[in-house]
């Protein structure tokens, strides 16, 4: 792909994500409300929230406002960049920029910006949240890495367009490693998108938003926007990696099907979130450790061609 097309391509992908993300959040809130027998806000409420936050006063309570600002900008910027590395129903604009390993690292880096922001704010609650969030990330990063590396082992290629095409299944059927990995990823998906029961780092009832507690106004809008976008990006990644069927149809059909699958995944996340209670951090870590062992076994199977 021509190098000049990268930035417009990323803009298209990121634009799509940023456009859809608040809607997904709206769906999430509405469905949660319905499940809990409430009426819930209108579907468009997250758009209004973001707009309102952008105009609100920007309170800075930390001792390092420069870092706070940079972290806020960077958190949205990394999400936008990651959007360019993931197929949003079409091609991957940054296919020629990096491979699977870059994707693994950038996904982790998305979270780091929030951590820096919380540290710069310096409130005790934020830092407790950071400590928890980092521990969750330590446990989650290898899970995602294993899912992608299984794809790499099956396709013998690190390229994103080769791996993000249902590569956990090989061409001639369903190898054990891929099937196990689908299960593992489904069981840990809530954590990747930071929703109940794994939102221990924000835990409104005990930590009051954790890392973001000192933020308001435009910075909070950016962090919130990035978080909404992460739900969409992770869902898209999941669909691209594990539910590839139908994406090969001609443009509007395959594309619509892709987004339909993303929508179903968002609904699933919502239902799980609305019906579960939050885990304590140590319970969550034990849960992830168990999944990690299973995933490692799947990786070994993949390395030996199963």
Partner 1 sequence: MISPEKAVVAAILLCFAGAVLTLGIARLKTLAGWLAFAVTAATAGLIFAAVGRVLVAGPSPEPATFWAMPAIGFALRVHVDGLTAIFLLLAALVALPASLYSIAYMKHYGDYGVARYYPYFLLFLAAMYGLVSTTDMMWFFFIFWQMMTLTGYALIRFEKRKPENIRAANKYLMMMQIACAATMIGAELLAGAGTPANGGAALKYDFGTVSANLPLLLRARPGMTALAFGLFLVGFGIKMGMWPFGQVWLPDAHPAAPSPVSAMLSGVMIKTGVYGLLRYFLWLVPPVAQGDYPVRSWGLVVVLLGTLSLFTGTMQALSQEQTKRLLAFHSIGQIGYILLGTGVCMVMLPARGPDAAALATLGLFGALFHTLNHGLFKGLLFLNAGSMLHATGTQDLNKMGGLLKFMPLTAATTLVASFSISGVPLFNGFASKWCIYVAAVQGSRTAGYLAPCAVVAILTSALTLASFIKFFGVSFLSRRSPLVTAQAARRGKLDVDWRMQTPQVFLAALCLLLGLVPAIAFRFMQQAMNASRHGLGAVFADAAPALNPPWTGLRALEGRALFVPGALAAVVLVAFLGARALSRLGGARRRAVAPWLCGYVRESACHHYVAHHFYGEIKRCFRWLGGAPQRPRTGSKKT
Judged by CB under 8 A, the chain residues 197 through 216 that form the site for partner 1 are 208, 213-214
Half-sphere exposure in the Cβ direction for 275 (13 Å, CA): 9
Closest approach of Cβ 2 to partner 1, in Å? 11
Instruction: Look at residues 216, 200, 209, 194 and name the one whose alpha carbon lies nearest to residue 68.
Output: 216
Q: Verify binding: residue 114, partner 1, rule CB under 8 A.
A: no
Closest approach of Cβ 89 to partner 1, in Å? 20
Closest approach of Cβ 37 to partner 1, in Å? 30
Closest approach of Cβ 253 to partner 1, in Å? 30
- List b or e across 103-139, with b for residues whose CB sees 16 or more CB atoms inside 10 angstroms: bbebbbebbbbbbbbbbbbebebbbbbbbbbebbbeb
- Tell which one of 135, 187, 243, 267 touches partner 1 (CB under 8 A): 135
Helix (H) or strand (E) run with residue 122 in it: none
- Tell which one of 40, 41, 91, 217 touches partner 1 (CB under 8 A): 217
Q: Verify binding: residue 91, partner 1, rule CB under 8 A.
A: no
Cβ closest to partner 1, residue 24 vs residue 53: 53
* CA angle (147 as vertex; 145, 148 as ends), nearest 5: 65
Closest approach of Cβ 199 to partner 1, in Å? 16
Cβ closest to partner 1, residue 80 vs residue 257: 80
Q: Verify binding: residue 77, partner 1, rule CB under 8 A.
A: yes
- Tell which one of 19, 34, 138, 248 touches partner 1 (CB under 8 A): 138
SS3 for 80?
A: helix
Site for partner 1 in 265-304 (CB under 8 A): 281-282, 285, 289, 296, 299-300, 302-304
- Tell which one of 16, 90, 109, 274 touches partner 1 (CB under 8 A): 109
Site for partner 1 in 9-68 (CB under 8 A): 10, 14, 51, 53-65, 67
Cβ-count burial of 174 within 10 angstroms (0-12 exposed, 13-18 middle, 19+ buried)? exposed
- List b or e across 178-189, with b for residues whose CB sees 16 or more CB atoms inside 10 angstroms: bebbbebbeebb
What are the tokens at 142? 């290898």
In this structure, the dihedral spanned by the alpha carbons of residues 292, 296, 302 and 304, taken in order and rounded to 10 degrees, is: -170
Closest approach of Cβ 118 to partner 1, in Å? 9
Return the range that interacts with partner 1 (CB under 8 A); candidates 34-42, 158-166, 233-241, 264-272: 158-166
What are the tokens at 68? 């706070």
Q: Verify binding: residue 86, partner 1, rule CB under 8 A.
A: no
Q: Verify binding: residue 178, partner 1, rule CB under 8 A.
A: no
Closest approach of Cβ 263 to partner 1, in Å? 25
- Tell which one of 157, 246, 259, 271 touches partner 1 (CB under 8 A): 157
- Tell which one of 2, 37, 124, 205 touches partner 1 (CB under 8 A): 124
CA separation for the pair 23, 274 (Å, rounded): 17
Cβ-count burial of 41 within 10 angstroms (0-12 exposed, 13-18 middle, 19+ buried)? middle
Cβ closest to partner 1, residue 220 vs residue 269: 220
3-state secondary structure string across 203-255:
CHHHHCCHHHCCCCHHHHHHHHHHHHHHHHHHHHHHHHHHCCCCCCCCHHHHH
């Amino acid at each position: 792909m021509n190098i000049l097309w990268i930035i417009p391509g990323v803009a298209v992908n990121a634009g799509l994500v940023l456009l859809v993300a608040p809607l997904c959040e709206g769906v999430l809130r509405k469905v949660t409300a319905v499940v809990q027998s409430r009426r819930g806000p209108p579907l468009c409420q997250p758009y209004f929230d973001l707009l309102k936050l952008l105009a609100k006063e920007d309170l800075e309570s930390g001792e390092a406002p420069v870092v706070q600002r940079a972290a806020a900008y960077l958190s949205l910027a990394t999400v936008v960049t990651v959007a360019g590395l993931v197929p949003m129903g079409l091609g991957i604009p940054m296919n020629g920029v990096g491979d699977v390993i870059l994707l693994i690292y950038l996904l982790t880096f998305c979270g780091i910006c929030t951590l820096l922001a919380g540290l710069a704010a310096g409130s005790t609650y934020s830092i407790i949240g950071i400590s928890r969030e980092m521990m969750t990330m330590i446990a989650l990063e290898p899970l995602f890495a294993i899912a992608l590396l299984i794809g790499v082992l099956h396709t013998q290629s690190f390229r994103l367009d080769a791996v993000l095409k249902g590569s956990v299944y090989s061409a001639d059927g369903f190898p054990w490693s891929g099937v196990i990995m689908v299960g593992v990823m489904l069981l840990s998906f809530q954590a990747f998108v930071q929703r109940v029961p794994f939102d221990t780092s924000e835990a409104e009832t005990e930590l009051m938003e954790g890392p973001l507690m000192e933020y308001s106004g435009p910075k909070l809008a950016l962090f919130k926007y990035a978080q909404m976008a992460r739900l969409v990006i992770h869902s898209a990644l999941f669909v691209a990696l594990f539910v590839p069927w139908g994406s090969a149809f001609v443009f509007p059909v395959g594309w619509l099907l892709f987004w339909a699958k993303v929508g179903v995944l968002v609904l699933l996340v919502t239902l799980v979130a609305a019906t579960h209670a939050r885990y304590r951090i140590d319970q969550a870590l034990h849960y992830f450790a168990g999944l990690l062992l299973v995933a490692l076994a799947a990786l070994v199977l993949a390395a030996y061609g199963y």
